[in-house]
Amino acid sequence: MIKAVLLTSTDGFVIRGMQKKIEDLLEAEVVSCDIDATDLRSKKEGATVFIYYMDNDRDIKEDVLLYLKEICLERDNKVILVGEDENIKNAEELLSDYLIADRFTRPFDMQDLLAALQKTDDIFGFLTKEDQIKRRILIIDDDPSYSMMIHSWLKDRYLISMASSGMQALKWLSQNHADLVLLDYEMPVTTGAQVLEMIRSDEDLKDIPVMFLTGKNDEKSIRSVLALKPIDYILKTITRDDLRDKLEEYFEF
């Protein structure tokens, strides 16, 4: 379970709304903390990720950032920075780049923040005994909203991890096991076809089963998908129940 410590000097509608969304959609625990080293010291226990929400220049407190850096280096935790570009840049100068999981310039898409939190927990969080016996599925898709939807559909049956690019996915796969990869065929920059090729060219990853996700169902597009010989493909228009049935059938087989 994600426990996020939200460091902020703001106590308003936006912060409370963000906190509630994180708690409800990710079934997480979110603890608010003043941007103060003493308050952080009292609320750091059990944290899996820290969100440093900078509302103005006064929120860049060197002692807090240096203490946060010390905590994260000791426990291998991560920090998500939220604020204006200049505030984020100033915070980056005091934190190691290794410790920053993501950066969000206000205004930002809440779905992107949720995806970043989920990704951080997948890599650095601890698994319960119940989770350890679940099949693990990695979703690779550049659309965080779609990934979050699939995550919500499947999280009760499977352990779901998410990556928003091929490079991110390969890094994750080098550190974690996946029983199945759901791979977006139409990704920009590094396409699904290229990601599949990189997985198959890696001796340690080549046997991981891959299903393509595609939004196109015309004959030519489907033929192009199947020519790469994935174990199967899934149309992005699939319903929740049909997707669950399809995956259950695959794993039973």
Distance CA 5, CA 3 (A): 7
Task: Report residue 171: phi and psi, to 5°.
Answer: -65, -45
Per CATH, the homologous superfamily of domain 3-121 is: Response regulator (3.40.50.2300)
pLDDT digits (tens, 9 = 90+) for 47-69: 889 999 998 888 999 999 999 98
What's the fold here for domain 130-252?
A: Rossmann fold (3.40.50)
Average pLDDT of the chain to the nearest whole number = 86
Confirm whether 3-121 and 130-252 share one CATH topology: yes
pLDDT digits (tens, 9 = 90+) for 141-151: 988 778 878 98
pTM: 0.57
Listed by start position, the domains of the chain span 3-121, 130-252
Q: Per-residue pLDDT for 17 more than 90?
A: no
pLDDT digits (tens, 9 = 90+) for 157-186: 998 888 888 888 888 888 788 999 999 998
> Are 25 and 152 a contacting pair, CB within 8 Å?
yes
pLDDT digits (tens, 9 = 90+) for 113-141: 888 887 776 544 444 556 556 899 999 99
Burial annotation 64-97 (CB, 10 A radius, 16+ → b, else e) = bbebbeebbeeeebbbbbbbeeebbebbbeebee
